[in-house]
Amino acid sequence: MREMVNVYIMGKKYTVPEELTIMGAMEYAGYQLIRGSGCRNGFCGACATVYRIKGRTELQACLACQKQVENDMYLATLPFFPLIKQQYNINEISPEEQLMMQLYPEIYKCIGCNACTKACPQELNVMQYIAYAQRGEFEKCAEESFDCVMCGICSSRCPAGISHPQVALLTRRLTGKYLAPESDHLKQRVEQIASGQFREMMQSIMQKPLEEIKELYNKREIEQ
Amino acid sequence: MFSQEMMDSIKKIEATRQSRIGADLRRMTADEKEKLLKEYHPDFVEDGFSTLEIGPNKGDKVPHELADLLQANSRLLDLDNYKDLSELEAELIEPDYDVDVLIIGGGGAGASAAIEADEGDADVLIVTKLRMGDANTMMAEGGIQAADKANDSPAQHYLDALGGGHYTNKPDLLHKLVTEGPDCVKWLNDLGVMFDKDSDGNMITTHGGGTSRKRMHAAKDYSGAEIMRVLRDEVMNREIPIVDFTAAIELILDDQGKAAGAVLMNLETKEILIARAKTIVIATGGAGRLHYQGFPTSNHYGATADGLILGYRAGAALLYADTLQYHPTGVAYPPQIFGALVTEKVRSLGAQLVNCEGEAFMNPLETRDVSAASIIRECRTHKKGIATAEGEGVWLDTPMIEQLHGEGTIEARIPGMMRMFGKYDIDIRKVPILVYPTLHYQNGGLKIAADGMTDIENLFVAGEAVGGIHGRNRLMGNSLLDIIVFGRNAGKNASAKCKAVETGRLSLKHVEAFAAEMAAAGIETEKVSPLLLPSYTHGREND
């Protein structure tokens, strides 16, 4: 017999094996999930969940696929949260401080409560990355927010109405496109291919009989 | 968090670690690899497969679980609000959506196709049964290959992928993959994907299993997630309509047998909707959630081979549907993340595969199929695995990475892995982790020509639902590349082609014809397909 614990899914009590994740516990209880289940591996943010252990005041947040159940856990899933996503043309914006003022001015209303950071299931320093965005330090914001799964729990806790994941995504795209150094070797290789420089080499391999190709493969030099 | 037996074994790993660092682990010969695969790779386990009795691939073997769905009843034959198929057919003249390009699937391939089709001025609609971005793309950790370094070339990339694929890759598809690789990485870079680069802008590239050049580009170990969230953002910036939580449950053809739309079902309300389109792109991804041969999977929740079912029932042929990729390093412990992916990048960075005695039993950078078979042999025949609640596993010696590349490397290069295990009090910088093969990738799929189109006119396929690009085994980093190259390709060609398409009268005759073919072959089944979502009980029925 497995060790069992009591959990309260959306307030309703279920007795479930203690080794399960919250997502597993919901399925054990009989849910067939449509919402609230995505990669089941901690990368997609589909299964944002808030919970409180009976008798404690602290409200905690997690990803249901990554968190093991605990006894007397009262949980509610947050499979969707209405974030603000501003439209922009990536080719027509530039990574300057006033961009945030134009697209996401609410970030300047941050009151420094740090509720976002406390709620982040990825343990990111959310308030800090918003501070970087406010100051136009987009690369720092991008780096600090890199592991964001865009679950939206931070925004659900924000008294200033900030859509933190969207702000962070904008700074990452700005960093990737404009702020990170350009890859000359990549640009050059694309031009070489377009000009047909590798065509002959490729055709010569493709035309070889299978035995010769095998020989080439088995004896190819491997970069150390 | 480890058991006492595991802790004891870890002591042996630690005892041999120094002597293993820098040791030259021999690669297997071609003959050794072939013998190993035949004996231990799940693709060669004969009773895991059935022979298809009807359809374009009649006589071919595919996994039982897939055969059962390919030869199952259409969902249209048993709809709640419709008396019969003809009642639904009568509604086809008034479609709910009428677009140029219909894209089924909201992962990396679907998003790339949508962006290019939009760029080609087509009227595009994306339907996806979960959310936009809920896809295997999001979970691809390790990286994306492209031959963009001075010592590399598309031809070298071709050779690596062809040998890795056991020389079965479709040459024209593979040619496209490797030749357009650098352009696709540049496309992603210019959309704002944050690739790992040095201060001069050089891409930081590593090896993957089976590569002869370091051409694996990465965004830490969030490579796929980083790509997916940028592509999704771009789709949204372009205001391309997305209908989410809505599955395609059958294709619609026109009276000339050309693809002309899809029957959709809102998964929450069960409402049936009709989408008419001039061209269609199937970008529905893989099949890990069918759990072939009982394997756990690293795939996302919706990976149920839906596109293969839709295409097959409409008459599109499959290619290599009997070959699957079992990623050698799925999580074997702890049970909460059983089957989850441990990125190959861990081995790229130098971590060795080690048995319970502390012996490195293989070169960690063999191709995935060979590595998976070797781990299975180590456990099953050599009896040098470590027992876990769910089965067994071997050690992946992560602390070596810090010894090889310096302290802090794990946090900088594979933070996702550190976080995933950290949640279960396992610090991968200090202790090794237990791994065992997990069902990871569908090598086969629907057969396409180099323009992305199937045998059915106006029906395109992109991404993991395609068969032939990788032959019978895919190299790490070639699937993120494939979804971009072939997603863009399908989007461009589907939008170009739709300009000249005159759709005929919409029809579901092929659904009836398939049912008749099933009946004629004596196939009687309760099963309906596509599956859409798996169902899990976690052993409830035994408690």
- Residue B1's pLDDT is what? 75
Mean pLDDT, residues B166-185 taken together: 98
pLDDT at A1 over 70: no
Fold classification of A4-77 (topology level): Ubiquitin-like (UB roll) (3.10.20)
Collect all residues of chain B within an 8 Å Cβ-Cβ radius of residue A198: 153-155, 179
Q: At what angle do helices B154-164 and A210-218 cross, to 10 degrees?
A: 100
Going from N- to C-terminal start, the domains of chain A cover 4-77, 98-179, 190-218
Name every chain A residue with its beta carbon within 8 A of the beta carbon of B421: none
Question: Phi and psi (nearest 5°) for B495?
Answer: -75, -35
Contact at CB, A40 and B222, closer than 8 angstroms: no
pLDDT value at B543 more than 90: no
A164 has a chain B CB within 8 A of its CB? no
Tokens of A25: 């516990």
Decide if pLDDT at B383 tops 80: yes
DSSP bridge partners of B259? B253
**pLDDT at B538 exceeding the cut of 80:** yes
pLDDT 10s digits, B224-258? 999 999 999 999 999 999 999 999 999 999 999 99
Q: Where are the domains of chain B?
A: 4-40+326-440, 61-138+228-323+443-522
Q: B312 in helix, strand or coil?
A: helix
CATH number of B61-138+228-323+443-522: 3.50.50.60
B443 vs B85: CA distance, rounded Å: 34
Contact residues, chain A, for B300 at CB < 8 Å = 38-41, 44
Among this protein's residues, is B229 annotated catalytic? no
CA of B256 to nearest chain A CA: how many angstroms apart?
36
Quickly count: other Cβ atoms within 10 Å of residue A207's Cβ: 10
Residues of A in contact with B222 (CB under 8 A): 43, 146-147
pLDDT at B389 (0 to 100): 81
Contact B158 A206 (CB under 8 A): yes
Chain B residues with CB under 8 Å of A201 CB are: 153-155
In this complex, do B300 and A201 lie within 8 Å of one another by their Cβ atoms? Answer: no
Which pTM value belongs to this model?
A: 0.96
Other beta carbons less than 10 A from residue A70's beta carbon: 16
What number of other Cβ atoms are within 10 A of residue B255's Cβ?
12
Determine the average pLDDT of the residues in B108-128: 98
First vs last C-alpha separation in chain B: 25
Mutation target for A interface from B26, B168, B194, B212: give the one with most A CBs within 10 A: B194
Beta carbons within 10 angstroms of residue B50's beta carbon: 17
Residue B326 has pLDDT above 80, yes or no: yes
Alpha-carbon distance B525 to B71, whole Å?
8
What pLDDT digit, counting tens, does each position of B410-456 carry? Answer: 999 999 899 899 989 999 999 999 999 999 999 999 999 999 999 99
Q: Which 47-66 residues of chain A touch chain B by CB within 8 A? A: 66
Share of chain B above pLDDT 90, in %: 92
Among chain A residues, CA nearest to B166: A214
- pLDDT (tens digit, 9 = 90+) per residue, A52-88? 999 999 999 999 999 999 999 999 999 999 999 999 9
Q: Is A210 on the interface with B (CB under 8 A)?
A: yes
On chain B, the residues whose CB falls within 8 A of the CB of A28 are 537-540
CB contact under 8 A, A183 and B220: no
A89 → chain B, closest CA residue: B237
CA distance A75 to chain B (A): 18
**How many Å apart are CA A47 and CA B50, to the nearest integer?**
36
Give the closest of A149, A216, A223 to B213, CB-based: A223
Contact B207 A28 (CB under 8 A): no
**Set B327, B470, B472, B474: catalytic member:** B327
Task: Read off the pLDDT of residues B182-210 as tens digits, 9 standing for 90 and up.
Answer: 999 999 999 999 999 999 999 999 998 89
Candidates 3.40.50.620, 3.30.530.20, 1.10.287.610, 3.90.700.10; CATH matching B4-40+326-440? 3.90.700.10
> Nearest residue of A to residue B232 by CA position?
A169
Q: What local confidence, expressed as pLDDT, does residue B392 receive? A: 93
This model of the complex carries an ipTM of: 0.97
Rounded Cα–Cα distance for residues B74 and B79 (Å): 10
- Looking at residues A115-126, what average pLDDT do you find? 96
pLDDT band at B80 (very low <50, low <70, confident <90, very high): confident
Q: How far is it, in rounded angstroms, from Cα A62 to Cα A147? A: 14
Out of B148, B199, B535, name the one closest to residue A32 (CB). Answer: B535
The verdict on a CB contact (< 8 Å) between B540 and A201 is: no
Q: What does the pLDDT look like over B481-503, one tens digit per residue?
A: 999 999 999 999 999 999 999 99
pLDDT tens digits for range B26-75: 999 999 999 999 999 999 999 999 999 999 999 999 999 999 999 999 99
Catalytic hit among B157, B232, B300, B347: B347
Given this model, what pLDDT does residue B142 score? 84
Burial class of residue B481 in the structure, from the number of CB atoms within 10 Å of its CB (0-12 exposed, 13-18 middle, 19+ buried): buried
Structure-token match 């005759």, residue found? B509
Q: What is the mean pLDDT of chain B?
A: 96
